[in-house]
Amino acid sequence: MASQDRRTAGEVDLTAEELSSLVIHPHEEAVTKLAKVAKTPSSGFGVFATQDIPKGALIAVELAVLSIPQVPDEEAAIEFCKALHQISKANLDRLQSLSLDPLAWGSVSQENVRSRLWQWCQDNLATNQSGQRMSHHELSKLVDHTCRCYGIFLTNNLETGSGSGRGVYPFFSRMNHSCRPDIYEFFDTKTKELSLRAIHDIKAGDQIHSTYVDLLQPRKKRQKTLEAWGFTCQCSACTNPAFDALGERAVELDDMLEEYLFYHDDFSSDTDDDHEPFLKGPDEALGVAQELIQLLKDQGLYGEALYHTYWSASKLGVEVDDLELALGYARDAREIEVCCVGPDRRLSDDDTIEWISYLESQIEHAKEGSSLTAKMAHQEYDPSSP
């Protein structure tokens, strides 16, 4: 492939600058009335609230302009080629209006990646409907276009989870990162829509941030991960030393709780004492969950991590024979769930509504003089029963 024409990094960087200076695509302005895309003083485009947005409000719902299935990384370029050359002109325009990160371009311009793209284009697109083959120059221009679009895809794509693959959502991709995000993004595997909801109150004029990384990890690890986007995060969690201690402790507690719950739920007879969890019983585990809840709230992390911790605390409340406590945490978990994904969706396979109803019924039985203890209630609970 040595004879392939190649654009220099400088030429592609120039294209990236041109792309970043384009006007905002009309579709992005039509996605929502609650927020708008606008230029920021130092980080390109961003998304800003056009009015006060209350906690739990649905800010936007968006379909991908281009998506690929869940495949190994070495197959992603070919899946991208297939998707790109089936895309509508309107969606192609929207894709090309997005930024091209120099690091993403560096990945695409590697010989092995460009060679795969060249080979695919040559095998699938180099002959027109009349049977005439493209000239070497025409094919080179097509590969340049494909490479640039693939770089844009790598810069802006979102992993949708649940084996659904990856997609580009232009409005969402305009949001800048913060380790204290303002929204929770949820991908609906049935409708293929990405929903964005506010996880706390947002004031008119404030920039709305998403997050690019797992937040329940130390600052240094977050910063290391963010190097892939070519910037150093300057959010409050990364610049305020007080948050470092909170974050480190939250990670420690989360690990302890996860370990305890794993052995509690999946304990097997061949597990030896050397692998017993650090926490020795439900009372200790509940105390850890309660401390973790407070730390997450102190850090402004009102998303999925807080939901799962509330849920764990509810189950542990039953383990310590306190149904009222369990019910309170179950209701807290449901509140976070509704805030993140709305009243008709779930954050996990667990059914918070059914669990709350079950706890309420057991508390009512207890008030009526039932001798059923909380632990017995927990043992009898079957989430799959009607």
* Domain architecture of the chain: domains with CATH: 9-229 (2.170.270.10), 240-380 (1.25.40)
* Lowest model confidence (mean pLDDT) among 59-68, 75-84, 109-118, 143-152: 109-118
CB atoms within 10 A of CB 38: 14
pLDDT of residue 374: 55
Per-chain mean pLDDT for the chain:
84
For the chain, percent of residues with pLDDT exceeding 70 = 83
H and E: helices and strands count for the chain = 16, 9
Q: What angle do CA 256, 219, 36 make, to 5 degrees?
A: 115
Look at residue 353 in the predicted model and tell me its pLDDT: 96
Provide mean pLDDT across the span 132-137: 86
Whether residue 263 has pLDDT greater than 90? no
SS3 194: strand
Q: Predicted confidence band at 9 (pLDDT cuts at 50, 70, 90)?
A: very low
| Residue corresponding to tokens 């709780």 | 257
Per-residue confidence (pLDDT) for residue 45, from 0 to 100: 86
Q: Residue 59: is its pLDDT beyond 50? A: yes
pLDDT band at 181 (very low <50, low <70, confident <90, very high): very high
Write out the DSSP string of 181-226: -SEEEEE-TTT-EEEEEESS-B-TTPEE-B-SS-SSS-HHHHHHHH
Q: How many residues does the chain have?
A: 386
The average pLDDT across 206-227 equals 89
Q: What is the pLDDT of residue 32?
A: 85
pTM here is: 0.82
Two tokens, residue 300:
């402004």
- pLDDT reading at 299 higher than 80: yes
Which carries the bigger pLDDT value, residue 385 or residue 326? 326
Q: Percent of the chain having pLDDT more than 90?
A: 55
Q: Residue 91 pLDDT > 90, yes or no?
A: yes
Using the CB atoms, write b or e for 142-165: b if 16+ within 10 Å.
bbbebbbbbbbbbbbbbebeeeeb
Please report the pLDDT score of residue 112 as a whole number. Answer: 87
